[in-house]
Amino acid sequence: MNIGELAKRTGLSSSRIRFYERAGLLTTVDRGPNGYRTYPPQAVLVLTLITTAQNAGFSLEEIRRLLPSDLERWQHDGLLEALRRKVADIEALEARLAENKAQLVSLIADIEAKPDDIDCATNARRVLSRVVGQETESHLEGAGDIKPTGKASRRWQTKAG
């Protein structure tokens, strides 16, 4: 199959497929006598696997290290470990999110519990000072950012739509 066909079947752009090849992620590629790339049907699997892993939060570099040249003989020990690490990452973030959410929720409760005899501005100050106190205790100052597994984890964002 040519690159256009593969692109169609995977939903990826041809340039992206070439890029993956250049990056050492897609090795199951041959050349026809005309110089055209020719792919076995298996390439669809490989590309699917790559995008799946990406969706799960793996960088291409991580994927490159996990993907065996021979799909049939991948080392699933390393793979399993990596998958579990990723799950742990997600769990850490979940805990963190839950914490943030609980904070917000209790903030809301705090605001709603505003004594009737103080004005809005004073209440705002009361609430804000509470937030600052919380934040500096739990999140700031280098101590525990997320990074449960590896180096820095700071990529997973909606594109600010």
- By CB under 7 A, the residues from 5 to 64 that bind DNA are 5, 7, 13-16, 18-20, 32-37, 54, 59-61
Residue 151, contacted partner among DNA, its own copies, none, CB below 5-8 A by kind = its own copies
CB of residue 155 to its own copies, shortest distance in Å: 4
Q: How far apart are CA 104 and CA 71, in angstroms?
A: 46
CB of 50 closer than 8 Å to CB of 11 = no
Q: How far apart are CA 22 and CA 18, in angstroms?
A: 6
Residue 4, contacted partner among its own copies, DNA, none, CB below 5-8 A by kind = DNA
CB of residue 70 to DNA, shortest distance in Å: 17
CB of residue 114 to DNA, shortest distance in Å: 29
Residue 144, contacted partner among DNA, its own copies, none, CB below 5-8 A by kind = none
Q: Is 90 exposed, middle or buried (0-12, 13-18, 19+ CB in 10 A)?
A: middle
Q: How far apart are CA 110 and CA 106, in angstroms?
A: 6
Distance from chain centroid for Cα 43: 24
CB of residue 2 to DNA, shortest distance in Å: 3
Indicate the residue among 120 and 156 with the shorter CB distance to DNA.
156
Q: Note the residue count of the chain.
A: 161
Q: Does 111 bind DNA (CB under 7 A)?
A: no
Q: How far apart are CA 47 and CA 1, in angstroms?
A: 14
